Structure 1
Amino acid sequence: MQEVEKVLGHEEVVKHLKNAAAMDKVSHSYIFAGEKGSGKKLLAKLFAMTLQCEKHGDEPCLQCSSCKKAMNRNHPDIIYISHEKPNSIGIEDIREQLISDVSIKPYTGPYKIYIVDEAEKMTVQAQNALLKTIEEPPAYAVILLLVNNGSTLLPTIASRCVTLNFKPVRDEVIKKYLMEELHVPDYQAEVSVAFAQGNVGKAKQIATAEDFTEMMDAAFRILKRGQDMEVYEMVDAIKLLSEQKHTIYEYLDLYLVWFRDVLMFKATRQIDGLVFRQEYNDIKSRADRSSYEGLEKIIRAIETAKARLQANVNFDLTMELLFLTIREN
């Protein structure tokens, strides 16, 4: 039988859900809000398992037949809503899998639980169709809407749900987990934590990447050779990298941490606080060449590039502007 992963951080959310289960005060609809990789799906699964568990405790026993079914994702009363189109959850998806299903009583458990991941992708029509069920749910129904940070559901839906916000997890908690549970070396754990900014999923993904060192070397090579390359060559190089294995956001996050190191070194001249300590020589020479203002401009430009790419602005143009800023400052 597979083990369920540990939940790191999110103490307030966990406490709220445990109390609801223990005191039998479960709401009919919840919104779990947090960025991708923050642990929403894991907690939704564990909460659903707890509610269906035959021991009726404040957490799943992992031993009963209900828990075993839920762990293998074949519990008939825990329904994960799927959708054909990658970028939208349409009215048909919601109607077929949730609205027309919710009137059928649970097969085995006390509840019927619906988990809608990326619920912000529901079309307005789908949300309006769901509204009636959320307003007048059967006594046994629990709907969990998982949304990415800052995503907006219709106010009519949001106002009828209990919203639980998933905040960034503390760095030391993530670092301890990476080193003790996943046996990631100290330095790699530190880089991963700086890179992830409180997001456990992100830290884990980067810490356990087989080509971790290669990825860093490739990303930094573009920065270091920036003086000898044309801007379009730099854009082509990063494009090639981000098409191979890791996403462009991972490379941009590496640059962000690297330039924060440069800024930190410029201010303190100390090597201790640096994430990329083994990059000391390059960080020092960059710190000597750039002004405080220039470095702050670069850091802002990386954040802007990430936001532009998320808003589907042209890749080449976005990266060109970024590398120009890096070069000019």
Structure 2
Amino acid sequence: MITEQGQSQQGWNIIGHEHSIDILRRLLASQQVRHAYLFSGPPRIGKSLLAHRFAQTLLCTGGPDPRVSPLNPCNTCLACRKVLHSNHPDVHVVTRAPDKQFIVIEQIRALQNDSSRRTLEGRRNVFLIPDAHQMNVQAANCLLKTLEEPEPDVVLLLTVPEPGLLLPTIISRVQQLPMQLLTTTKIRQALVEDWEADPKEADLVAALAAGRMGWAVQAIEDEEMMEERKAQLEGLAKLPTLNRVQRFDFVQRLASDSERAREMLELFLLWWRDLVLASNNCLDLTVNVDMRDLLKTQASKILPNQAQQMVRSILKTLEALEQNVNTRMALEVLMLDMPTIKG
């Protein structure tokens, strides 16, 4: 259950991101929809959700004029329901295949072929490319041709963590919509009012979400997620107490799944950011509020500059993985950079 968050979000069913929604609604109102948009922001912040809601609005037939996109999706017409259930024939999603490391050129060529065809039901062909930074160079250059010579009824919606992960020539041909992290207060309020979460549980989840509404919703709806997160974090917190051989054993187990490695690094990043705060006597500002005793203990055994350097090393490792550096090699370098904490 999601309540309306003001006139600018009527029908969009999205918590926060009012500025981005207002921009899209103004474009719809002026009938100046561009051929390509780039939604950027941290993982699980709501990029894909907003892109889908925009696609829904572009194809909605519930407005006063069926030839013109309304300003909000009605959520009740057949087109809206089909987009919601991922079976609208004019909405095409391009993602990396499970057995592939990248989105490959053949997929973009298929996109080009589909974009040249007439729409089947709606007024536009909409193509969503979540995690567009996963395109290899050949696929990215192929997409550039579509951006340079777009079909009149085609709209491309791309999402990325950071715009800089795409080719500058692609960025120059899309309208950017940077999305910001939400406040802890806004997330907590939404969890209590819209998801009917227990207030104490909402306090913890909102703090751990670190501004990511999507993460918070998943944590509320999936009880095992919080338990798994705590187990993973306890394992990561032990890494500085291990010797080099044990750290490399951990890397060997993790390196085979690059996506899982990224998720673990993001969790590790939050932990070391908390250690920076704890080592500077700011324990009350830490995100992992349920593990402050362990944070306080570890922070007493390292110097603040060591924690800060580790944060920089994790960020560097995440950047290396986004640039498709060998996962195992990147993680091994990180293990070497990690300070040692006596257990």
TM-score by length of 2: 0.75
- Alignment deviations for residues 193-250 of structure 1 (CA, whole Å, 9 cap, x no partner): 44443222333344534152464256336646965x5453466468769999x94555
Counterpart-to-counterpart distance in 1, 2:185 and 2:133:
31
Amino acid in the other structure paired with 1:34: G
Mapping of residues 180-329 of structure 1, within 5 Å: 180-186=193-199, 188-207=201-220, 208-210=222-224, 212-213=226-227, 215-217=229-231, 219-220=233-234, 223=237, 230-233=243-246, 236=249, 247-265=260-278, 267-268=280-281, 272-277=284-289, 279-307=291-319, 311=325, 312-314=327-329, 317-318=332-333, 320-323=335-338, 325-327=339-341
Counterpart-to-counterpart distance in 2, 1:32 and 1:279:
33
Q: 2:59 aligns with which of 52, 63, 75?
A: 52
Q: Does 1:106 align with 2:90?
A: no
Identity of aligned residues (%): 29
Amino acid in the other structure paired with 1:219: L
- Alignment deviations for residues 67-100 of structure 1 (CA, whole Å, 9 cap, x no partner): 122222221222223554633333332222x322
Amino acid in the other structure paired with 1:216: K
Cα distance change on mapping 1:188 and 1:251 into 2, 3 Å: farther
Amino acid in the other structure paired with 2:173: R
| 1:145 alignment partner, SS class | strand
* Residue pair 2:37, 2:174 contacting (<8 A) in 1 also: yes
Amino acid in the other structure paired with 2:129: V
| 2:188 alignment partner, SS class | helix
Q: 1:30 aligns with which of 7, 30, 37?
A: 37
Amino acid in the other structure paired with 1:35: P
Q: Does 1:17 align with 2:24?
A: yes
Q: CA deviation at 1:302?
A: 4.4
Cα distance change on mapping 1:193 and 1:302 into 2, 3 Å: farther
* Residue pair 1:222, 1:234 contacting (<8 A) in 2 also: no
Match of 2:175 in 1: 162
Q: Does 1:118 align with 2:161?
A: no
Bigger-Rg structure (1/2): 1
Cα distance change on mapping 1:122 and 1:55 into 2, 3 Å: same
Cα distance change on mapping 1:290 and 1:103 into 2, 3 Å: closer
165-174 or 259-268: bigger deviation: 259-268
Counterpart-to-counterpart distance in 2, 1:211 and 1:14:
30
Q: Does 1:87 align with 2:94?
A: no
Counterpart-to-counterpart distance in 2, 1:115 and 1:201:
18
Q: CA deviation at 1:52?
A: 1.2
Q: 1:6 aligns with which of 8, 13, 36?
A: 13
Q: CA deviation at 1:50?
A: 0.8
Q: CA deviation at 1:55?
A: 2.3
Cα distance change on mapping 1:196 and 1:321 into 2, 3 Å: farther
* Residue pair 2:12, 2:73 contacting (<8 A) in 1 also: no
Q: CA deviation at 1:35?
A: 3.2
Aligned-residue CA RMSD in angstroms? 3.8
* Residue pair 1:222, 1:237 contacting (<8 A) in 2 also: no
Task: Give the number of aligned pairs.
Answer: 322
Cα distance change on mapping 1:139 and 1:184 into 2, 3 Å: same
| 1:32 alignment partner, SS class | strand
136-145 or 182-191: bigger deviation: 182-191
Cα distance change on mapping 1:234 and 1:73 into 2, 3 Å: same
Q: CA deviation at 1:46?
A: 1.1
Amino acid in the other structure paired with 1:162: Q
Match of 2:88 in 1: 75
